[in-house]
Chains A and B, each alone.
Chain A
Amino acid sequence: MDFSLSEGQEKFRQEVSDFLEGEIKQGLWQPSCDAWIMGHDPEFTKRVSQRGWIGLTWPKEYGGQGLSFIHRLILTEEMLRYGAPAACHWFADRQIGGAIVHYGTDEQKKELLPIILKGEAYVGLGMSEPDAGSDLASLKTKATEDGDHYIIDGQKTWTSGGSNMNWIYLVARTDPDAPKHRGISEFFFETSLPGINVVPIVDITGGVHFNEVFFENVRIPKTCLIGEKNKGFYQILNQLDYERSGMERLMANYPLFEALIKYTKETKRQGKPLSEDKLIRSKLAQLEIEFEIGRLHMYRVAMVMDEGRAPNWESSMSKAYGTAFEQRLASTAIEILGLYGQLSPQSPRAPMQGMAYHSYLSSKGYSLQAGTSEILKNILASRKLELPNQ
């Protein structure tokens, strides 16, 4: 057993954090919560790509760095710590590239991976539908064969990254007659094709990161099929393990935590800094404890992936835990700020740029996206604890 990082990994962390601090000093962007999913900054993504930090874990033969998942965790941990605007490449780097490495044909690897590596694939995740949320396999969007093409018809919703996407990863029904889990396939294609209509959905914070996406008679070449026809559902389960595996499930609002600690040290109430108040100390310490537990869960997931296993129950456990932590952090932050906690980023007198307000509202979605906490606990119960079927 060894809880330390290797010298190379420590050096890598330093390199990443030096880079990010440099960026902030140059005023290239402001740290913010949710920047991994809301912060679309193509220039930042290009700079990250130039450093070789997209596709870090992919094999070198596909243009990756062949580094460990712990390395990637360090990279994302630092990105999240600094609230870096990494949304342009996050999905492609996290799960789409890996899926293509795993399931793609040689041609697809040759054609698609370089686009992702260059940070030019802003991917939307086309999974949920109005009647297919947790029960993803009941999706209705159709992909019908027509010569060398598939024709896509239907509607996706809650499509993360939809408003900025130029590519979409789409799950659609390719065999309407098969049992519902066995007639689904995965596709990856550009969204400039005719027949695709994106309608933004304004979320509870007033921002937009998910969308409705309508497909009407969209013709895509058959080469857009990823992996095996009608086996898409099983591929997506594996991908979801990766989608759930990352630090963004613990640190999406980490900038809030740091800002809150700073605020309590600098703000006096009744002549004393808030940080000297017994109850506030206790609350902040409890958050620090819960954060550390989450961090250990996340590192375990990365270690499982480094062993070459999909982190199926481990990432379910870490995601359900981590998102609940993020929600408590946001809620406790408002509580500590007291009346000031209710001020929005647009309001005069808002402390910490209204981060607590934003994060509190935004965090409600954390335990829903990429698998609700209830679905994750089902997975834990069946895959880890082997409890009988419901």
Chain B
Amino acid sequence: MDLVLSEEQEMLKTMARDFLADKFPKTMVKEIEEGELGYSPELWKEMAGLGWMGLALPEKYGGSDMSFLDLGLLLEEMGRACLPGPYFSTVVLGGLPILDIGSEEQKDEYLPRIASGELVFTLALTEPSASYDADGIETKAEAEGANYTINGTKLFVADAHIADYMLVAARTDAKAKAEEGITIFIVEGKSAGISHKVLKTIANDKLCEVVFKGVKVPKENILGELNKGWPEVKKIIQRAAVAKCCEMVGCIQQALDMTVDYAKERKQYDRPIGSFQVIQHYCADMATDVDGTRLSTYQAAWRLSQGLPCAREVAIAKAWAGEACQRVMALAHQIHGAIGVTIDHDLQYYTRRAKAAEVSFGDASFHREAVAQEMGL
């Protein structure tokens, strides 16, 4: 057992932290959030130039062949910086599933262009039922000659408005059990019949409503196997849950750091408020939550990287992170006082993202049920 990061991992983190701090000050984050695109194509290219899009892709697809855990460390820094944009959806929700279950042709076609920063991908999974369970998928794909025709509405689809491609989970066998008739398709984002609306969200990210009306997709765009998509979707959710936890670690670590700094500087009654025991204990509680989140997240990411069974560890990490983030942010606000609830203060970026992250890819209740099953209850 060894919890120390390797020299390369430390370097990756430091480099990422410096780059993101330099290129994405909160003024830039704000500008991007308020813009229609939700990302900066110039900085996107710079990030691709650093090899970030292909970080966990094999070299033959233009990647750096690093591990999922390494990617997690990068995501942690992105969480720390509140990076806006389609990195998560492109890499975690698009690239890795294709690498995992794509055919050789699909990998050759998409992965090098993901690695180079040419393509934006996303995943169209959840629907108006807002469920991560199989019975939440009602969007249909019906075979018609060489094509499938997709009809339905997907909701909370990240970055659909700019996506070149989407992975779409749709029902291909209406008569089968909920988990047995689902197929994943690679769908061109600008296909005829697709329309989208950008929703206004707590994290100011670009989650969309996407309506599929008679959208034609060639059969060869099935990712994985016909009607056997659900187990793969579950893997995608699992991977995304850990990736989200990594962002959350960065998010609450930064909130803790900001809070401790503030407690050292802010004076009341002629002394730093950080010298008051109640503030110290709040900070100690925050630090304990941050470290617990980090340890369980790294454990899950490590197991995933190693290809070990990880259902239990992933569920534990995400259930814990969701609630720990809320406790940390609540105390961060309490210690910051009124300045922390102003729109011009950096803290609010973290508060908003932490709440969105809590409900993404399974909230604590969802993952507690998964843990219960792993316990044999």
Contacts and interface: CB of A to CB of B under 8 A. Distances in A.
Asked if chains A and B come from one complex, the reply is yes
Interface in B1-33: 1-6, 9
Interface in B244-292: 260, 263-264, 271-272, 274-277, 279-281, 283-285, 287-288, 291-292
A48 to B, nearest CB: 24
A13 to B, nearest CB: 12
B238 interface: no
B316 to A, nearest CB: 5
B320 A293 contact: yes
B130 interface: no
B299 A296 contact: yes
A388 interface: yes
B295 A381 contact: no
Interface in A363-390: 374, 376-378, 380-382, 384-390
- The DSSP consensus for interface residues of chain B is helix
Contacts of B303: 3
Contact of B283 (A4, A293, A381): A381
Contacts of B332: none
Interface residues of B, number: 46
A286 B3 CA distance: 25
Contacts of B275: 387-390
A137 interface: no
Nearest to A274: B377
Nearest to B370: A285
A321 interface: yes
B183 interface: no
A374 B282 CA distance: 11
Contact of A293 (B6, B279, B296, B368): B296
B37 interface: no
Contact of B1 (A4, A282, A286, A384): A4
Contacts of B369: 281-282, 285
B3 A300 contact: yes
Given A303-B3, A388-B274, A281 B372 contact: yes
Contacts of A2: 1-2, 302
B69 interface: yes
A377 B69 CA distance: 31
Contact of A385 (B1, B277, B283, B313): B283
B82 interface: no
Interface string A294-322: 00110110010000000000000100110
Interface of B: 1-6, 9, 69, 260, 263-264, 271-272, 274-277, 279-281, 283-285, 287-288, 291-292, 295-296, 298-299, 302-303, 313, 315-316, 319-320, 365, 368-369, 371-372, 375-377
26 contacts: A1-B9, A2-B302, A3-B1, A3-B3, A3-B298, A3-B302, A3-B303, A282-B365, A282-B372, A285-B368, A285-B371, A285-B377, A289-B320, A289-B368, A290-B320, A297-B292, A299-B1, A300-B295, A303-B3, A374-B277, A374-B281, A385-B287, A387-B274, A387-B279, A390-B277, A390-B280
